[in-house]
Amino acid sequence: MATNWPRLNLAAGPVEVTARTLRDQSRPVLYHYDPAFIETFARVNDLLKLVFRTNYDTIIMQGEAILGLEAAAASMISPGDQVLNLVSGVFGKWFQDFIEAYGGETVELAVPYNDAIDPEDVRRALAANPGIKFLSVVHSETPSGTHNPVREIGRIAREFGVITMVDTVSGLGGELLSPEDWGLDVAVAGPQKCLGGTPGLSLMTISPAAWAAMEARKPRPLRGSFLSILDWKATWLENRRFPYTPSVTEIYALESVLVQALEIGMERFVDRHQQVAAACRAGARALGFALWPARDDIAASCVTAIKTPDGLDEARLRSVMRHRYGVTISPGYGELNGKLFRLGHMGPAQAHPTVLAAQLAVLERSLADIGWPVQFGAGTGAAMAALTDWDDAAS
């Protein structure tokens, strides 16, 4: 018998998309040089600027966000360049591989994976290492359910003339960004996290300083490569051409999720994620769980990471939720596997009281199923009690 499909995909991305996204994605596939597709691609870039809240150039690379992150390293780092890599989780640590694959030298500033980077430590590290040229940081560490103070970090980097590479794959839509104001030189997001879109694209903003760094790369600028951001500048930005065929249907889906986010409005879009995340934390605590993040003010708005208590078989819990009730949540990732599990609330379809209530109710039922003591209604009740400001009809 084939595995049943889930009813609710509340994983750490990709997540369920709205019916409207599915419908918009199913338009006929256009030839990418058809004037209608050129118009669509231009419009999607304009929408992306509004969602990122930037006037910087946007680049949409045609692969899941890891492509954009690797492309940032590959396009800017010259052999011997020092990169301050801020590590507060799995994705931060992984970025070191990209730095070193392209000849960079890593200077690491790390904190435990339940904590966030202190901007003052960044200042000290940059002051102590005047040779540092780039800084890499993860905005929202999805595997840890934490976020870093990227605004403060980016501003400090700018004071030192250091160019930033920012993984905001799950941060865009979970916090209000401002690339110019925050000193974000290359920011990379994914449509399949808080925007609630389909996976397969890297959404990027590029500052003038980042373009200059790409042009200055030694021994020569990176061109003629799937990883080249400059190829996109020379084709799309300067000539309305493409370096290769874009993923036409993913662009339709992206347009749809950007329009949906802007209809809600970015302030409200972010506020909804933050409200549901706070309510989810209240629900988890009311069920007797401790949260993985060291403090609430560093808890991410895309997922809620719960510390696995002694004696709880979290893999069995997730399996019961998935197979008996059709609710998918995520385990810990990489070295965090087993140490935590993650409730999901990313995307406009999921960051909603109805879905949170269902998720917590199924969590309670599943805990009882595996013999974990639970007071039915404690988690859902606390979460709903915390949601005092919700109003779908408010504008």
279 binds ligand PLP (CB under 6 A): no
Return the DSSP state at 31. P
Binding span for ligand PLP by CB under 6 A among 27-35, 42-50, 137-145, 201-209: 137-145
167 binds ligand PLP (CB under 6 A): yes
How far from 182 is each of 103, 160, 168, 289, 309, CA to CA, in Å? 27, 14, 13, 35, 38
9 binds ligand PLP (CB under 6 A): no
Collect contacts of 245-250 with beta carbons under 8 A, ≥24 apart. 245/32, 246/32, 246/41, 246/60, 246/62, 247/62, 247/200, 247/201, 248/29, 248/30, 248/32, 248/37, 249/25, 249/26, 249/27, 249/29, 250/25, 250/62, 250/191, 250/198, 250/200, 250/201
Binding span for ligand PLP by CB under 6 A among 100-108, 167-175, 227-235, 281-289: 167-175
> Least distance in Å: CB of 347 to ligand PLP?
13
* Closer residue to ligand PLP in complex, CB, 173/379: 173
144 binds ligand PLP (CB under 6 A): no
* Contact status, residue 149 vs residue 86, Cβ threshold 8 Å: no
* Closer residue to ligand PLP in complex, CB, 66/368: 66
Among 138, 177, 204, 282, contact with ligand PLP (rule: CB under 6 A)? 138
110 binds ligand PLP (CB under 6 A): no
* Tokens coding 315: 């893999």
Q: 1: which residues sit within 8 A by CB, 6+ positions away?
A: none
65 binds ligand PLP (CB under 6 A): yes
Q: 364: which residues sit within 8 A by CB, 6+ positions away?
A: 287, 374, 376, 377, 378, 379, 380
Binding span for ligand PLP by CB under 6 A among 62-70, 221-229, 258-266, 285-293: 62-70
Binding to ligand PLP (CB under 6 A): which residues in 190-249?
Answer: 190, 193
115 binds ligand PLP (CB under 6 A): no
175 binds ligand PLP (CB under 6 A): no
Q: Rounded distance, CA 367 to CA 376, Å?
A: 10
300 binds ligand PLP (CB under 6 A): no
Binding to ligand PLP (CB under 6 A): which residues in 75-104?
Answer: 91
Return the DSSP state at 175. B
How far from 214 is each of 68, 78, 186, 233, 335, CA to CA, in Å? 14, 9, 11, 11, 33
Among 10, 13, 280, 336, contact with ligand PLP (rule: CB under 6 A)? 13
* Closer residue to ligand PLP in complex, CB, 111/286: 111
* Closer residue to ligand PLP in complex, CB, 192/366: 192
Binding to ligand PLP (CB under 6 A): which residues in 177-196?
Answer: 190, 193
**E strand or H helix at 202:** strand 202-206
Which residues make up the interface to ligand PLP (CB under 6 A)? Answer: 13, 64-66, 91, 138, 140-142, 167, 169-170, 190, 193
